[in-house]
Copies of this chain bind each other. A is one copy, B any other.
Amino acid sequence: MPSDAPFPDEHNHAICMSQALGNAAKLCLQRGVRLTPLRLQVLELVWRSHKPLGAYTILENLQTAQGRRAAPPTVYRALDFLLAQGLIHRIASLNAFIGCLHPEATHVGQFLICEHCGNAIELDTPEITNCIMQRAEILGFVVKSQTIEISGRCAHCQARYAS
């Protein structure tokens, strides 16, 4: 069974998460946008792990004030806000969402997704983008957004569950 340990083998995810949440609060303050309790809660849920999380999983784990179960638009609107602020990325190949590691600057998301443990590692590799931009430019194609999602097996799972 894959370990539930988040992400790189030895990494204190509590710190990882609190940094991300603190950073998000700071950025929203700077930008004059409101990281409301609901949005913060959704962001916290997304940051509970490094595994992309589906909207309906988030919904199930959402604690509303009155104990009533929230409806889908509640979650999708919060996700839309977080996406717009670059605080999360959407993983198209999984219909899921994951916290962004570098929300301060807009950038394209590049992910290595382990099929075994489910963790997604966000890359920040300009070479990949450059390579794509170069090829696009030759064809006169103007790039607006990029979906780069690589599936496979992470080093961690490769080592433990060689198959």
Whether A44 sits at the interface, judged by CB under 8 Å, is: no
Whether B144 and A151, one on each chain, are in contact in the complex, defined by CB atoms closer than 8 angstroms, is yes
- Cα of A112 to Cα of B134 in the assembled complex, Å: 12
- Cα of A61 to Cα of B117 in the assembled complex, Å: 40
Of residues 86 through 136 on chain A, the ones whose CB sits less than 8 Å from some CB of chain B are 92-93, 112, 114-115, 121, 123, 125, 127-128, 131-132, 135-136
Whether A154 sits at the interface, judged by CB under 8 Å, is: yes
Residues of B within 8 A of A139 (CB): 112, 121, 154-155
Whether B142 and A135, one on each chain, are in contact in the complex, defined by CB atoms closer than 8 angstroms, is no
With most chain B CB atoms within 10 A of its CB, the pick from A143, A145, A150, A153 is A150
Residues of B within 8 A of A151 (CB): 143-147
- Cα of A132 to Cα of B93 in the assembled complex, Å: 17
Known: A127-B135, A150-B136. A158 touches B142 (CB 8 A): yes
- Cα of A141 to Cα of B112 in the assembled complex, Å: 8
Q: List 6 A-B contacts (CB under 8 A).
A: A112-B136, A136-B150, A143-B150, A144-B153, A146-B150, A147-B148
User: Nearest-CB distance from A15 to chain B (Å)?
Assistant: 21
